[in-house]
Amino acid sequence: MVSATSEDSKMAVGLSEADWPPETGRRLSVTRRFLLRPETGGFVSAAVVFSFFAVVAGGNGFLSRLGTADWVDGASQLGLVALPLGLLMIAGEFDLSIGSVVGATSIIVAICSGYYSLSPWIGIALSVVFGILVGLANGLITIWTKLPSFIVTLSSLLMISGGALGVSNWLTSASNITAEPVGSAPGVFASSWEGFDVSILWWLGLVGAATYVLQRTSFGNWVYATGGNAETARLAGVPTNRVKVSLFVATSLGAVLAGVVETLTFRDGNVTLGAQYVFTGIAAVVIGGVLLAGGYGSAIGTVFGSITYGIVSIGVFFLGWNADLTELFIGVFLLLAVVANKRLRQMAVGRA
């Protein structure tokens, strides 16, 4: 099995020497090494959108401390969901239930802290258990039934959303509940400094952990191998089922963390809180260079994808344009990212 990190130019596709371009074995130029990295597309996207808004909206406050804090905060909150989702997609699977997990977490925390006046930590603990159970269910059902994870997690999304709404109405007769951030939990999950939220630190911690796992551990190699060709990887001794279930659990826990952060930050519990992550999370991952087919991508690329979305969502506001145009920009970058990533992969395998 080829290591996904042994050579930058081989990072993602897991090719044999016979498949590799003729220049392998000779030192690649700095430019070509850069182009062959999976996060290149995400880096270019982030650089382009930042340059654009810095030029056209810099005078309106986009480059100010507050403007910078706004897009960095947005990128970090999206990144909490997108980062583990990116690892799951590298392994060749999807999880559409993340949005409903964020919303259900919001309801759990708000009911405990706001309706029953319990410590937010109780709601957080229950949410973590809930997230683990959802991830296990998604992973095990996908493996046992051999159904596409797209279908399995779409069903989960609907069941969790409906269940959370039903429980909320049954217990509180409301679907929107005020959360009471008391004790130490708000400081851990919802504090800020000069406009920069503590979610940035959580995000950076996850980035460091994910990068280490992908580049320095056997599990990281298993992730790439599973996404490249699960059956071949299984025959080679890779525990592909364990890899997938673990990543489904990690993805659900990322959604739980995002739900806790947003609920305690905005002091509001709502089933629809994370609905946008179903699309923005996948968009951030794809813009960051992860192939929809799996087997290719990086944690750093997902970071750049989240930054791209954060910049666009705030940049449109500083331009004074209709906020609905945010989705237009993201749609354009998503399409361009898919085309660019396909082209870069063709370069990587020598099939230009």
Per-domain residue ranges of the chain: 37-347
- Give dist(CA 297, CA 11) in Å, integer: 8
Q: What are phi and psi of 176, to 5 degrees?
A: -125, 120
Contact indicator for 260, 81 with CB cutoff of 8 Å: no
Q: Tens digits of per-residue pLDDT, 296-344? A: 889 999 999 999 989 988 888 888 777 777 778 777 777 777 777 667 6
The DSSP letter of residue 115 is: I
Number of Cβ atoms within 10 Å of the Cβ of 187: 11
Token pair, residue 136, equals: 């296990």
Cα gap 160→252, rounded to integer Å: 12
CATH class of 37-347: mainly alpha
Residue type, 344: L
Write the CA distances from 42 to 47, 268, 281, 285, 304, integer angstroms.
9, 33, 14, 9, 5
**Which residues is 269 bridged to in the sheet?**
177
E strand or H helix that includes residue 269: strand 268-270
The residue count of the chain comes to 352
**pLDDT tens-digit series, residues 132-153:** 999 999 999 999 999 999 999 9
User: What is the amino acid identity at position 96?
Assistant: L
pLDDT tier, 27 (very low <50, low <70, confident <90, very high otherwise): low
The per-residue pLDDT for range 102-141, each reduced to its tens digit, is: 999 999 999 999 899 899 999 999 999 999 999 999 999 9
Residue 16 scores a pLDDT above 60: no
The proportion of the chain whose per-residue pLDDT surpasses 70, expressed as a percent, equals 88
Segment holding 139, helix H or strand E = helix 120-145
The residue type at 289: G
- Helix 40-57 to helix 299-319 angle (10° resolution) is 20
Residue pLDDT, tens place only, 249-296? 999 999 999 999 999 999 988 888 888 898 889 989 988 888 888 888
